[in-house]
Structure 1
Amino acid sequence: MPYTISEIIILFFTYSFIGWLWETFYCSLKDHHFDYRGFLFGPYCPVYGFAATTILLLTRKIQNNLFLLFLIGIVVATIFEFVASLFLEKFFHVKLWDYFKLWGNIQGRVAPAISLFWDVGTVLLVKFVQPLLQRLIDLEERQTHGWLAVGITLVMGIDTVLSMISVEIFHMTAKKWDKHINRFIERVRVRVESRMPEKGKLKVGDWHHSVMQHFNELRPQPLSWNHKRLLKSFPKLKVLDAPKFMEIKKEILKKER
């Protein structure tokens, strides 16, 4: 194996952290406010760590072949991004990004423009970043004898469990919001129709303002710091089975501050 297990763990953590730095910087600049990116609590995005580590393992013997570097980079990164999107949607009913507006996208999960970014990043990673980083990792291995990797594994493992619990609670809260909103709309409809039976069936239109006027009554539970972070840092976030919550998520976030 070209790397030891502890080296792979350090590489995974380091590139997860670099990916978090990049996403946080870029998205904060684009959205004109600080975006604390990432699915987990900690400052790391595992999809970058998985992709970068896999690419390094697969390109160990072909680093001088630019064509194969491009090919492996685009395939590996695209697969990881697609799988990560599918995992979040199937297990948590949440979408954190959406590329539907980009040309050639596949189900809004991946798109050629994004894959090309990963592709260029692969060449920079293999040719320039990794040689410098490997020297630091070699020094760290001599000093800690692999114990840093053990610590990273424990911290990220606990973080993953806590983050998954937090996202599931967020999902349930969003569904409760939908349930409460639907009940509220139905109560209003019944009340109005009972007072004006001659008007027939009431078509409920803009319910947003009325719901927000009854915010404290309808709110199932306060949003945690992490839930508010997700809403703020991922403008395209969607809870797939809570459409009404999604419609007023910005108003809810303002009230929760």
Structure 2
Amino acid sequence: MYSERDTNMPYTISEIIVLFFIYSIIGWLWETCYCSIKDRHYDYRGFLFGPYCPIYGFAVTTILICTHDVQNNIFLLFIVGIIVATLFEFVASLFLEKVFHIRLWDYSKLWGNIQGRVAPVISLFWGVGVVFLVKFIQPFVQSLVNIEERDTHGWLAVGITIVMGIDTILTIISVERFHTTTRMWDEHINSFIERVRVRVESRMSEKGKLKVGDWHHSVIQHFNELRPQPLSWNHKRFLRSFPKLKVLDAPKFMEIKKDILKKES
């Protein structure tokens, strides 16, 4: 079953799943505490509904597997950690953008960044983090996993797979609805701006192109008329917990998202 070890792998499948789950929770706790302190209000972090951040789980398990043969050499561990973590972060950013049309982080203002997805200073941070993780955190976590493997024989991994699988499906549905709602907002705003432009130009003695300036206030004034549908709790959580979140094909919604959140509260 899950607990059978492949001779080519340093961990069994069930160990990988449990490690993934543990580090997803640790990542969620870290981000929630750090961002709540930084933003001075409670941030329920994590892309999924549950209290875990899978991106940390995927990143750490990938790093543990890829660095297994160099864990006794701190310099090689640091270098391999930088490479693996940077590649993972780049691919994760690209995946979120291409599949969900959103971007959760943006390093565009940092020196040497690549498309705002990765940056040298962040990569160095990941390198140090990998060394600290492998040398100080993983030994303790692995001892817990060994006890779990002995007592449950891999059945905990089955439960984790089912729970997080359902959560992932529900989250994908929620994100797709969020994407649809934000695009509808943009369509309604553009239509509203066009109606205002036509109405104003019809009263002008000389016809010409009119640049509609500050449309933000007018849109909020007509909020109930323009709102395509209310934002769900999870959609509002996305906007509050991820201040750098960008819906790439709904730019006007992004411009007034704070005002919309105030109206939706």
Q: Same fold (TM over 0.5)?
A: yes
Please give the residue correspondences for 1:19-58 in structure 2 after superposition, counting only pairs within 5 Å.
19-58=27-66
Give the counterpart of 1:219 among 219, 227, 230: 227
Structure 2 counterparts to residues 118-157 of structure 1, below 5 A: 118-157=126-165
Q: Aligned-pair distance for 1:99? A: 0.5
Equivalent pairs counted in the alignment come to: 257
Deviations 1:162-207 (A, max 9, x none): 1111111111111100100111111111112222333643221000
Letter in structure 1 aligned against 2:96 = L
Note if 1:112 corresponds to 2:120.
yes
Alignment partner of 2:108 out of 94, 100, 105: 100
- Amino-acid identity (%): 80
Structure 1 match to 2:67: 59
In the TM superposition, 1:147-186 aligns within 5 A as: 147-186=155-194
For residues 66 and 25 of structure 2, the distance between their equivalents in structure 1, rounded to whole angstroms, comes to 21
Gaps of 5+ in 2: 1-8
Q: 2:6 maps to what in 1?
A: none
Residue type matched to 2:188 in 1? H
- Stretch moving more, 158-167 or 171-180: 158-167
Range 171-180 or range 52-61, more displaced: 52-61
Q: TM-score, normalising length from structure 1?
A: 0.96
Deviation at 1:220, TM superposition (A): 0.3
Paired residues of 2:28 and 2:46 also in contact (CA < 8 A): yes
What do residues 43-74 of structure 1 show as CA deviations (whole Å, max 9, x unaligned)?
21222111211221223232220111001111
**1:242 is matched with which residue?**
250
Q: Check whether the contact 2:185–2:228 (CA below 8 A) recurs between aligned residues.
A: yes
Which residues of structure 1 form unaligned runs of 5+?
A: none
Runs of 4+ in 1 over 2 A off after TM superposition: 58-62, 195-202
Greater shift after overlay, 160-169 or 52-61?
Answer: 52-61
Instruction: State the alpha-carbon separation in 2 of the partners of residues 61 and 228 from structure 1.
Output: 44
User: In angstroms, what is the RMSD of aligned CA positions?
Assistant: 1.2
Q: Distance in 1 between matches of 2:200 and 2:62?
A: 61
The alpha-carbon deviation at position 141 of structure 1 amounts to 1.4
Residue 76 in 1 paired to residue 84 in 2?
A: yes
Matched with 1:201 is 209
Per-residue displacement from partner, 1:115-162 (whole Å, max 9, x unpaired)?
122111111111111111111111111221111100101111111111
Q: TM-score scaled to structure 2, two decimals?
A: 0.93
Which stretch of structure 1 is more off in the superposition, 138-147 or 65-74?
A: 138-147
How far apart in 1 are the matches of 2:25 and 2:122?
Answer: 19
Q: Aligned to 2:99, which of 91, 103, 106?
A: 91
User: Aligned letter for 1:97?
Assistant: W
